[in-house]
């Protein structure tokens, strides 16, 4: 019987190594808790590493020659590209391309409902002990609304599925016109203007790449002025700079924004976004890392790794994600 590779888990996600042991009972799973800088006492002969990106970067920088595959608990890869301009030789790195989808979908639908039901306005009214029905205005049924999702990957698809389940029409924007029956309409970048014009909500799930950086900056969102949609960003903050976002809000191109990601995190106290009445700020919590969810993604890849099959969500230095 072939010996299965030992797994070393290094993460701040509570109980992650415990869940991996439960899912891989025949595999030796080591636990190396990282410190605040992401450094951990990882065995030098580690072949398979499952951990937070800072710990992976630190371990590779130490020049350990036994590492063959590192699975990150993070979906974002920007810090990997900053640390390694070229892919580390002989090491495959995979990202967390799944495990957050349902949580992020619930975040998106939750904020759509909060806006359409005037929940924030009603809460503020309660604090003032006001009984005023006029604060519930412009009520719309979800079945009358179209949400445009930027991206057509696994997370975008789960967002689309839940939005469709509550009755919304769902459009998707993809790099290529691949088949995805979840979306009512799927278009590519050349159709961006008509895509934006038809949306009541716009949800960004795209990664940060050279193609997506500042995609919405400048006057790109001017085409939204007829419907004045709400922009929900759960992808990356680099899709639009702060000045452009303010311009879109002040000109009525957008009626509001729900922002979970930013160019600078934590969001600086001096940012105008904190106090803008049409903006909701959340601290990058739309897709929290739950041990049960992300461990399943790793275990699926681990089985493929031991069978020498192609791994899911391999980080591609050429594509930028």
Q: Which two tokens stand for residue 294?
A: 């992300």
Q: Evaluate whether 216 touches 259 at the Cβ level (below 8 Å).
A: no
Please report, for residues 8, 178, 191, 203, the alpha-carbon distance to residue 41 in angstroms, rounded to integers and kept in the order given: 10, 44, 50, 40
φ/ψ (deg, to 5) at 313: 60, 40
* Residues contacting residue 192 through CB under 8 Å, at least 6 positions apart: 173, 220
Which CATH fold topology does 7-99+289-306 show?
A: Rossmann fold (3.40.50)
- Domain-wise residue ranges, the chain: 7-99+289-306, 101-281
CATH number of 101-281: 3.40.50.720
Give all strands (DSSP E) within 169-295, no chain letters: 169-173, 185-187, 201-204, 230-233, 256-259, 279-281
Over residues 263-292, the pLDDT tens digits come to 999 999 999 999 999 999 999 999 999 999
Please check whether the two domains, 7-99+289-306 and 101-281, share a CATH topology: yes
Q: Which residues of the chain have pLDDT under 50?
A: 1
CA distance linking residue 52 with residue 38, whole number of Å: 8
pLDDT value, residue 65 = 75
Question: DSSP string covering 290-315, please?
Answer: -HHHHHHHHHHHHHHHHTTPPPSSB-
| Sheet strand arrangement including 48-51 | 29-31, 7-10, 48-51, 69-72, 92-94
The pTM of this model reads 0.92
Q: What are phi and psi of 201, to 5 degrees?
A: -135, 145
Q: Where are the alpha helices (DSSP H) in 24-140?
A: 53-61, 78-83, 101-116, 119-127
Let me know: does 200 contact 224? Beta carbons within 8 Å: no
Per DSSP, the three-state class of 220 is helix
Q: What pLDDT shows up at residue 2?
A: 59
What count of other Cβ atoms lies within 10 Å of the Cβ of residue 130?
Answer: 10
Bridge partners of residue 156, in order along the sequence: none
Task: In whole angstroms, give the CA distance from residue 103 to residue 119.
Answer: 20
Q: Which helix (H) or strand (E) holds 9?
A: strand 7-10
pLDDT recorded at residue 64:
66
pLDDT at 1: 43
């Amino acid at each position: 019987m072939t010996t299965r590779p030992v797994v070393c888990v290094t993460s701040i996600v509570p109980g992650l190594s415990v869940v991996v042991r439960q899912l891989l009972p025949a595999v030796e799973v080591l636990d190396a808790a990282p410190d605040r800088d992401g450094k951990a006492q990882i065995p030098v002969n580690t072949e398979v590493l499952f951990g937070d990106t800072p710990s992976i970067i630190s371990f590779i920088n130490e020049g350990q020659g036994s590492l063959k595959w590192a699975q990150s608990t993070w979906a974002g890869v920007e810090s990997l590209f900053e640390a390694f301009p070229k892919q580390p030789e002989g090491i495959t790195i995979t990202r967390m391309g799944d495990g957050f989808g349902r949580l992020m979908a619930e975040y998106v639908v939750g904020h759509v409902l909060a806006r359409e039901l005037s929940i924030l306005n009603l809460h503020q009214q309660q604090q003032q002990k006001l009984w005023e029905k006029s604060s519930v205005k412009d009520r719309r049924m979800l079945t009358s609304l179209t949400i445009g999702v930027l991206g057509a990957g696994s997370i975008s698809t789960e967002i689309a599925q839940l939005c469709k389940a509550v009755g919304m029409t769902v459009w998707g924007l993809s790099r290529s016109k691949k088949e995805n029956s979840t979306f009512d309409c799927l278009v590519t970048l050349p159709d961006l203007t008509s895509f934006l014009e038809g949306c009541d909500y716009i949800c960004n799930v795209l990664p940060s790449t050279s193609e997506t950086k500042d995609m919405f900056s400048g006057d790109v969102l001017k085409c939204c002025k007829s419907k004045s949609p709400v922009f929900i960003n759960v992808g990356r903050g680099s899709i639009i700079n702060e000045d452009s976002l303010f311009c879109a809000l002040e000109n009525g191109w957008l009626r509001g924004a729900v922002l979970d990601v930013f160019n600078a995190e934590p969001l600086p106290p001096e940012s105008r976004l904190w106090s803008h009445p049409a903006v909701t700020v959340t601290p990058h919590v739309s897709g929290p890392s739950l041990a049960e969810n992300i461990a399943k993604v790793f275990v699926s890849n681990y089985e493929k790794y031991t069978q020498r099959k192609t791994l899911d969500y391999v980080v591609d230095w050429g594509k930028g994600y």
